Structure 1
Amino acid sequence: MGTLDWIVVAGYFFVMVAIGIWSRGRIHNISDFFTAGGKMPWWLSGISHHMSGYSAVMFVAFAAEAYRLGLTVYVWWSLTIGIGVGIGAFLWAPAWNRLRSKHGVKSPLEYLARRYNVPTQQVMAWAGAMLKVVDIAAKWVAVALLLQGFAGVPIFWGIALTGVVTMIYSVLGGLWADALTDFGQFIIQAAAGFAMFFAVASHFGGISFMWEIWDKLPENHSEPLAGPYTLTFFMALFLIKTLEYNGGMWNLAQRYMAAPSGYEAKRSALLSAGLWLVWPLVLFFPMWAAPLIVPGMENNAEQAYVAMGKMMLPAGMIGLVLAGFFSHTMAMVSSDANVITAVITRDILPRIWKGAVRLSSDAQLQLARVTTFLFIGLSMTIALTADTKGFVLKVVIALVAATMGPIAIPLMLGLLPWFRKFGPSAAIASVVGGLSTWAFLYTEQQFLKDFTVTQALIVSTPLIVSLVLYLGIGLLKPEPSESRDELLESLRSDEPERDEAVKA
């Protein structure tokens, strides 16, 4: 990297801190900190929702799979998310918003105490928080690997640099800072993505490379499902991503909660869905062409995108691409930290420390900021002590994707009126059964070296067990509740008179 590249990166970090400082003036209470007070425009909510699904993982782990296997990574990742978010625009996005506007909910798990009971809420809160801290650690490692590849910066300093800057603006600016950095990320990613796309097009002599490269690549690179990514894996991941990106990944539920109304939240979801179907193609085509530009990197495919960027991009553009990597990770981590802080301060702490519910408004806001600081610090510590080789893909697929289903099923299906009689017995059994299944299979594969336990099995089986338990126990042991019926009925419309009719 040259001087101009470093200037671009330094400028990016300066802007991120400035956004945090500016956003601090918009934060007056925990409602502003966690849900932007319900004042976020639908288009900003939609862009933020879309960009919160990216991190440097895409340019490390997913780029490596694109290099090795081709088209399949778009099919099982971007396509599943785009379709799933489109479905969720009608099923879940408005309901999340109405939980905030009608019931004062500030954390995605806050409604679970009323929907099921407090033990269900606590099981899901603790399991999800522990999962997320490891997920964030993988993102720190991913961006540090990219910084090492582009600039030779040691892993330790890469994690420390990005972590500290993220910590500053997250602690200061809350969800407003998250959304504004997401928007900045959107602009940077567009510039960097198109720069790489057109550099690759120029290398091959024109835009026709998009359909001409496939004859030059291995035959399986044009297959929609290849390698370990089977039809079973695809179907399981489609259900997982539908649940995850509609609120199972808690920070994305926040984006819908931050919109002014349920209708505006629906528009946000449709915008995000459209972006998921189209924009990743611009990013993936250079990755698919990479074996023809930097061949022979199958054993070090995680550095393929870095090698191609250093070869093809002019001075300044490498810095912009690297800033894009930073923005992916920092925006997602900030978003995750904000929602985990909401869960800890709103759902976990009040159950273990009664004084938390008696804090003043200012003290609650201060507690939220301290919790954000500690959570990001813990994730950085895990990242700094991890074995970085293969860590990113292992966490993203074998841990996060495999355990997201059991955590998300009771949370997401609990918002739908069709499951109104499904109570806490079904919910707790679903979470515990699914996570226990994952722990057994993961132990068999990783520690007992049972290679019949495939990646598809690790991802799909916990999901199936969790879903079967939720549906089976919910149908065999219905637990109707008038309070639950009233809650779900209130989420069907933005109109207040519907709620008044229910209360009457």
Structure 2
Amino acid sequence: MSIYDYTVFALYVAGMVAVAGIFYRRNKSFKDMFAAGGQSPWWVSGLSSYMTLFSAGTFVVWGGLAYKHGMVAISINMASGLAALLVGFFIASRWKALNIATPATYIELRFGRTAVHYYTWMLMLVRIIGSAVALYALSTILVPLLPGATDGNGEVSVIPIILICGLVIVAYTIIGGLWAVLMTDVLQFIVLSISVLFTVWLALGDSGGLAAFAQAVPVNFLDFTSAGYSWFFLLGWCAIHLFMLGAEWAFVQRHISVPSQRDARKGALLFGALYIISPAIWLLPAMVYRTVDPTADPEQAYILMSQAVLPLGMLGLVAAAMFSATASMVSSQINVFAGVMTDRIYCGLLRPGASDGESVWAGRVAAALLGLAIIALAMAIPYLGGAEKVVFSLMSLFISPMFAPALWGLFSRHISASAVWLTAGVAVTLGVLLKYLAAPTGMLAAIPQFDGLVQWTADNARSLDIYIGVVAPLVVLSLLEIRGRLKARAAAGWLSLQSVAVHRETDAEASAADGRLPLMIVTWSVLACAAITTLLTLVNPGVRFEMATLSLLLFITAAILGRLLAKPGLREEPTINAPQARA
């Protein structure tokens, strides 16, 4: 990268920390720190949810799949978007109606204290590992772009990048709480959109346009299903993401951080609409690179395409987008579990009568500890010999079966805490059997009597997660639902949940106005991007028209946002602040 790229990347990182500083004084209570005071604008919640699903691995894994198999990578991600739309129509507003400050409160009310410990520690372990892997993946992508990161022997090292990126993420999460996480997610969306759209424009220009691209790709490259990814897989993938987006704590936190149930619904629908449309855009550079170099490393396809077409300074924006994607995912997990640790351990056990100020500082300490644990694990990954992948694979057996009863319990009064344990037990048993024991290299492969089962698992390798994570939980929960209906009485957890839920939203809550500050930050951020691209136009004579066009579009966008900001009906601070259950 050039000095211009380094400058753009540094300005972006500084901007993220500055945004956190703006929201520092807003964190006066536990609810402010971990639920944005219940006053996040719906569009901020929707864009933050969208970015939370990204990481640097998104460009590596899905970019690699798009390079190898084409359109099917877009189909799979659109299935995630469909799941998000279903969450918007049927689920998001129910979370807001529960009147809670953390998702752990719901688990305790609905399924009991033992279940909340199981959810808390299992999810925390898996998400810390996942965040560390994402941070490590980011560092491996940035190493070729940021030469000079070497260890004592002069060898290229990912450690400095992990340390710098990790500390920046932890810093702005600690300083600004959920407000900082939400708003930096919005900034990350802006940077990601600019970098991806510009890369697509130049990539298609270099390849001769869409028509030439379509003629140059292999047979079946533009089919919606291929390479073993069937319609059954897409349906199952949608169901898995319905469980995840509807019940995973990072997404639930977005649903409960807005002023009203209607805002929760609108935020989730925005997320879903974006994820239906955008995969065809941000996966296109990797697909186009298949026509440029059919023998390239698939996992490097996206960054190689970017390096091939982007002018001075814009590669720094792509590096910022990669950093953004990972930062969004990691900061979301830190904020969620720091909130749970503060609520459950500090305020619940150590200091039951803690003031709002104490709980905010306890939350910052918890966020720091979690962030440092993620950084340490990410730096250790090169020395683990791949062990983290085995652990993450084993833990993933628990995740979808954990979300299924949590989501089912939002709608049904008939399942009890037993649903959590039975669903997990059946799914883990099937997972160990099908993914490990009956795998072609597993113990059962050596026993002739199990040849049929081993062959079936080999033939359905891509669908095993669907059977384990969707079919098995739904069968178990359906049987428990039938049993509960035959007993004709509501589970105790359901009755406890109703005691804190808001059944009817007031007109004031439903019409609460968005604050001016989030829109102001977005407006100035777009204006800053426009100024940067204008300056870069001067040092890129070869693509001056394209850069000038991009700058003009950004200035027009900033002007439109400025007009919205000047509307007299936009209030500085929403005043609705209904009490919420915290424990």
Structure-2-length-normalised TM-score: 0.77
Corresponding letter in the other structure for 2:105: E
1:198 and 1:496 map into 2 onto residues whose CA distance is 46
C-alpha distance in 2 between matches for 1:393 and 1:492: 44
Q: If you compute each CA radius of gyration, which structure gives the higher value, 1 or 2?
A: 2
Contact 2:29 2:356 (8 Å CA) reproduced: yes
The farther-off stretch of 213-222 and 128-137 is 213-222
2:41 matches 1:41: yes
Of 158, 173, 176, which residue of structure 1 is paired with 2:176?
A: 173
Distance change in 2, residues 1:96/1:178 (3 Å): same
Aligned-partner Cα distance in 1 for 2:49–2:469: 26
Shift of 1:281: 1.6
Offset, 1:400: 7.5
- Equivalent residue number for residue 26 of structure 2: 26
Residues 126 and 392 in structure 2, CA contact (< 8 A), matched pair in contact too? no
State the match for 2:79 in structure 1.
80
User: Which of the residues 423, 426, 430 maps onto 2:419?
Assistant: 426
- Percent identity reads 25
CA contact (8 A) 1:135 1:395 kept: no
Q: Is the 8 A contact 1:52 1:332 kept in 2?
A: yes
Residue 435, structure 1, aligned to residue 428, structure 2: yes
> What is the CA RMSD across the aligned residues, in angstroms?
2.8
The yes-or-no answer on 1:258 pairing with 2:269 is no
5 Å-filtered alignment, 1:454-469, equals 454-469=461-476
**Structure 2 partner of 1:364:** 359
Partner of 1:327: 324
The whole-number CA distance in structure 1 between the counterparts of 2:160 and 2:299 is 19
Task: Say if 1:91 and 1:110 are closer, same or farther in 2 by CA, change over 3 A.
Answer: same
Partners of 1:157 and 1:294 in 2: how far apart? Answer: 31
Q: How do 1:88-167 residues align onto structure 2 when only pairs under 5 Å count?
A: 88-100=87-99, 105-152=100-147, 153=149, 154-167=157-170
**Is 1:196–2:163 an aligned residue pair?**
no
* Superposition deviation, residue 133 in structure 1: 0.9
CA positional deviation for 1:233: 2.8
Alpha-carbon deviations, 1:246-270, whole Å to 9, x = none?
2x22111111111110011111111
Letter in 2 for 1:64: G
Q: How much has 1:471 moved relative to structure 2?
A: 2.3
User: Would the aligned equivalents of 1:407 and 1:431 in 2 still touch at CA under 8 Å?
Assistant: yes
Distance 1:492 1:167 in 2: 37
Measure the CA separation in 1 of the matches of 2:184 and 2:34.
Answer: 15
Offset of residue 456 of structure 1 = 2.4
User: Which is further off, 283-292 or 458-467?
Assistant: 458-467
Assess if the C-alpha contact under 8 Å between 1:402 and 1:460 holds in 2.
no
Instruction: Verify the 8 A CA contact 2:416 2:492 in the aligned structure 1.
Output: no
Deviations 1:440-485 (A, max 9, x none): 5444459848684524214532432222222223322556246624
Equivalent of residue 343 in structure 2, options 342, 346, 364: 346
Q: Where do residues 444-483 of structure 1 align in structure 2 (5 Å cutoff)?
A: 444=437, 445=439, 448=442, 452=457, 454-477=461-484, 480-481=490-491
Match of 1:112, SS state, is helix
- Judged with a 3 Å threshold, the aligned counterparts in structure 2 of structure 1 residues 272 and 197 are, in CA distance, closer, same or farther, namely same
| C-alpha contact (below 8 Å) 1:171/1:369 kept by paired residues | yes
Query: TM-score, length-normalised on structure 1?
Result: 0.88
Distance 1:85 1:231 in 2: 18
Q: Is the 8 Å Cα contact of residues 139 and 329 (structure 1) preserved in structure 2?
A: yes
Distance in 2 of aligned mates of 1:356 and 1:112: 22
Contact persistence 2:109–2:496 (CA under 8 A): no
Change (3 A) 1:239 1:414: same
Structure 2 CA distance for aligned equivalents of residues 217 and 412 of structure 1: 41
Structure 1: how far apart are the matches of 2:32 and 2:138?
29
Total equivalences in the alignment: 482
Give the equivalent residue in structure 2 for 1:494: 505
Partner SS, residue 289 of structure 1: helix
- Secondary structure of the residue that 1:432 maps to in structure 2? helix
Tell me the CA shift for residue 431 of structure 1: 2.6
Taking a change above 3 Å as real, the CA distance of residues 420 and 374 of structure 1, as seen in their structure-2 partners, is: same
Q: How does 1:263-274 map to 2 (within 5 A)?
A: 263-274=262-273
Distance 2:473 2:206 in 1: 48
1:243 is the counterpart of 2:246: no
TM-superposition CA deviations, 1:181-207 (whole Å, max 9, x none): 01111111111011101111210234x
For structure 1, which segment, 106-115 or 450-459, has the greater mean C-alpha deviation from structure 2 after superposition? Answer: 450-459
In structure 1, runs of 5+ residues without a counterpart are 498-504
Instruction: Pick one of 298, 302, 319 that aligns with 2:299.
Output: 302
1:484 alignment partner in structure 2: 494
Change (3 A) 1:483 1:43: same
CA–CA distance in structure 2, aligned partners of residues 496 and 119 of structure 1: 38
In structure 1, distance between residues paired with 2:200 and 2:473: 41
Distance 1:400 1:238 in 2: 20
Q: Are the equivalent residues in 1 in contact too, given 2:435–2:464 (CA < 8 A)?
A: no
Name the SS for the 2:490 alignment partner: coil
SS in 2 for 1:157: helix
Paired residues of 1:150 and 1:310 also in contact (CA < 8 A): no
| Deviation by residue 1:9-47 (Cα, 9 ceiling, x = unmatched) | 111111111122222111111100111001111111111
